[in-house]
């Protein structure tokens, strides 16, 4: 219990330190709330997925909830560009063989997937604060990371990326979750036509 409490207190500090070191890369001063993460993951069928890829894993708020929903034989590849956050994340979930943590840029994910494509892609990347050219490269890569029936779920703090997602995906659904500081915009993107 003491370890869980300590972790709960340290995560916001680690996240804030990463933000101070590189605000454009991290994009927020606090980790996403658990309720917003649950709302976002409800937009995809994580329990049915063989492969889930998480972009912008941070301190593991999304990672823990994905692992809680993931089948025992499935795989989660969590990508975090900040080396300190990636190391802390790998240490936190060291006992879970389903998880592979990568300290790399989201634009390089395909090189780590051995030709596989994700059933669910989870993104907490701060698209609006990224350099424009890097943002375009990552956005262009996202549809290629997904399997034919795959779904990408994204959390953002403004609706500004809606047009970018619509240019790359046939179906884009979105909603707002007010139980986050600040309120979050959740997107579900796929190449499948809406039902």
pLDDT score, position 19: 47
CA distance 86 to 18: 11
170 close to 139: Cβ distance less than 8 angstroms:
no
Question: Which range (22-31, 137-146, 171-180) has the least confidence?
Answer: 22-31
- Sole residue written with tokens 């050219």: 133
CA distance 12 to 175: 25
- DSSP class of residue 127 equals G
pLDDT score, position 31: 65
CATH homologous superfamily for the domain 2-190: Vaccinia Virus protein VP39 (3.40.50.150)
pLDDT score, position 43: 97
Domain chopping of the chain, boundaries: 2-190
Q: Which of 182, 191, 178, 190 is nearest to 154 (CA)?
A: 190
pTM over 0.85, yes/no:
no
Which tokens sit at 86? 């990636």
21-78 confidence digits (pLDDT tens):
454 443 444 567 889 999 999 999 999 999 999 999 999 999 999 999 999 999 999 9
Go through the chain and tell me how many residues it has: 195
151 close to 169: Cβ distance less than 8 angstroms:
no
């Amino acid at each position: 219990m003491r370890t869980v409490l300590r972790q709960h207190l340290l995560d916001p500090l680690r996240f804030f330190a990463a933000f101070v070191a590189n605000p454009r890369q991290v994009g927020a001063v606090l980790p996403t709330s658990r309720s917003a993460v649950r709302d976002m993951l409800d937009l995809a069928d994580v329990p049915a997925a063989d492969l889930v890829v998480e972009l912008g894993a941070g301190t593991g708020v999304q990672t823990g909830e994905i692992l809680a929903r993931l089948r025992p034989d499935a795989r989660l590849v969590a990508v975090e560009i900040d080396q300190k956050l990636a190391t802390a994340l790998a240490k936190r979930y060291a006992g879970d063989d389903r998880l592979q943590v990568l300290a790399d840029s989201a634009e390089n994910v395909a090189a780590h997937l051995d030709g596989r494509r994700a059933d669910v892609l989870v993104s907490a990347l701060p698209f609006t604060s990224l350099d424009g050219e890097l943002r375009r490269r990552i956005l262009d890569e996202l549809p290629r990371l997904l399997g034919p029936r795959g779904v990408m779920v994204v959390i953002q703090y403004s609706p500004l990326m809606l047009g970018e997602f619509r240019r790359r995906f046939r179906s884009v659904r979105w909603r707002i979750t007010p139980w986050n500081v600040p309120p979050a915009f959740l997107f579900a993107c796929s190449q499948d036509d809406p039902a």
